[in-house]
Amino acid sequence: MKLDILAIAAHPDDVELSSSGTIIKSILQGKKVGILDLSKGELGTRGTPEIRAMEAARASEIMGLTVRENVGLPDGFLNNVKEQQLAIIPFIRKYRPDIVLANALTDRHPDHGMGAALAAKSCFLSGLKAISTVDENGNAQEAWRPRALYHYIQDRFMHPDFVVDISDQWEQKVKSIESFSSQFFVGKDDSEPATPISTPEFMMFLESRAREYGRSIGVQFGEGFVAERTIGVSHLSDLL
């Protein structure tokens, strides 16, 4: 199964918060999109890995994903090392995405920056024929390197290299975020411990950030992305 876009995330809900509008828009344009969560978020203050898996499934349905998988790497202990890279490469070769979206290059949660580096290194290594991997049926996989890697922006503000207009996808994006009701404020009281992301103010922050990026390109809502490599276009009109 070949994907057009594979979003790689340190934790379930990273993608929903940062780039689900872009994913929804891409799917509406006929693209096949999947998410690869690196960990189950088992160190989270609220909820459980089982609850978050169910929430991720609901969010996937709302977004219209083709597939969503979890590598099962240890939450809080992501590290850009051989063992973890070799755990990710088979998924890249399995889905052969043209574009990979990955965590923010640096962020409040150390797993985010590490997830970014881990995804980037794994994408590069996945293109080396000398590295042997097999699929779930034991069949040898062919080398594959995505054409482009872009990093979505998370908690810390970054000046984006480009912004995607998600004005028409904003409400659906919010619904995908609200699927993670164990993590975020969804208009009800609960007995779970409060965290920096479980408050009404955090949801207001998300909307403000999207409005800020949207305003920068003259639309209502936007999602920003950062690229480490120079972005090339065939025509100036591609920049509109």
First to last CA, the chain: 31
Helix (H) or strand (E) holding 42: none
What pLDDT, on a 0 to 100 scale, did the predictor assign at position 169? 98
Quote the tokens at residue 156: 């810390």
Q: How many domains does the chain have?
A: 1
Question: Which residue range(s) make up the domain with 56?
Answer: 5-239
Per-residue pLDDT at 189 = 65
Residue 221, SS3 per DSSP? coil
Question: For residues 37 and 112, what is the distance between their CA atoms, to the nearest angstrom?
Answer: 12
* C-beta of residue 9 within 8 angstroms of C-beta of residue 113: no
The CATH number of whichever domain residue 155 belongs to comes to 3.40.50.10320
Q: Check residue 47 and give its pLDDT.
A: 86
Which residue(s) pair with 6 in the sheet? 34, 100
pTM for the structure as a whole:
0.95
Query: Do the Cβ atoms of 125 and 131 come closer than 8 Å?
Result: yes
pLDDT of residue 97: 98
Contact 154, 105 (CB under 8 A): no
- pLDDT one digit per residue (tens) for the chain, 240 residues: 899 999 999 999 999 999 999 999 999 999 999 999 999 999 999 989 999 999 999 999 999 999 999 999 999 999 999 999 999 999 999 999 999 999 999 999 999 999 999 999 999 999 999 999 999 999 999 999 999 999 999 999 999 999 999 999 999 999 999 999 988 888 766 778 888 889 899 999 999 999 999 999 999 999 999 999 999 999 988 887
pLDDT at 192 (0 to 100): 81
